[in-house]
Amino acid sequence: MGLYNKIHYYFGDGKGKTSAATGTAVRMAGSGGSVVFCQFLKSGTSSETAVLNNAENIKCMAVDEPIGFVWNMSREEKEATAKVTQRLFEKRAEAGKQAQMIILDELTDAADCGFLDKEWVISEVQRLSAGAEIIITGHRQDRDFIRIADYVSEIKSIKHPYESGLKARKGIEF
């Protein structure tokens, strides 16, 4: 791949960012490439990981312990979550050395929450892109990530059953 490695950035308030990243991981694995699928702010129990973990050339990584909603966290919980998130980013670096694709799901959200230093993350993403295709997801549009990305896709919610009180459903939202 070499010079053809690109950075993808999927953001927005709509459903489909992780699904798009998952589909691209399957496409890469199907072509014989290896993938590291790293989920920040998630415990790795979403349904897609059950299938991805069974793929020979996809390695899924997530935080070691459950993470609650950031807006409900105490200062101590936020500090602990920052440490867990930083450890995950470091483990991803080791796992991704030979991968053709690295997916950093919810990475911009982890930076927005202060769990990772954004400038350092951007530098690392640019460095990683020299050896692999990189996919980043997150909720908020961030001009710094847009600046470094080659592909930028906004996933916008027009209508969602959550608005009428339907809770997340296994196999659809998680």
SS3 state at 114: coil
Percent with pLDDT over 90 in the chain: 56
The pLDDT, as a whole number, for residue 15 is 92
- Strands 133-138, 101-105: parallel, antiparallel or unpaired by DSSP? parallel
| 2-6+20-164: CATH number | 3.40.50.300
Burial of 7 (0-12, 13-18, 19+ CB in 10 A): buried
Give 68's pLDDT tier (boundaries 50, 70, 90). low
SS3 state at 136: strand
Choose among 63, 57, 137, 141: nearest CA to 101: 57
Choose among 149, 162, 133: nearest CA to 21: 133
The pLDDT, as a whole number, for residue 83 is 86
Model pLDDT for residues 91-146, shown as the tens digit of each residue: 777 677 789 999 999 999 999 999 999 999 999 999 888 889 999 999 999 999 99
pTM: 0.87
Burial of 21 (0-12, 13-18, 19+ CB in 10 A): buried
Model pLDDT for residues 32-49, shown as the tens digit of each residue: 999 999 999 887 778 888
Is residue 70 predicted with pLDDT exceeding 80? Answer: no
Residues 150-164, mean pLDDT to the nearest whole number: 90
Residues 150-163, mean pLDDT to the nearest whole number: 91
Rounded CA-CA distance 84/41 in Å is 9
Domain ranges of the chain: 2-6+20-164
The structure tokens listed for 59 are: 């390695």
Q: What is the mean pLDDT of the chain?
A: 88
Give 12's pLDDT tier (boundaries 50, 70, 90). very high
The pLDDT, as a whole number, for residue 1 is 44
Is residue 3 predicted with pLDDT exceeding 60? Answer: no
Q: What are residue 136's DSSP bridge partners? A: 9, 104
Instruction: Please give the angle made by the CA atoms of 35, 147 and 79, to the nearest 5 degrees.
Output: 65
The pLDDT, as a whole number, for residue 121 is 93
Q: What are residue 154's DSSP bridge partners? A: 11
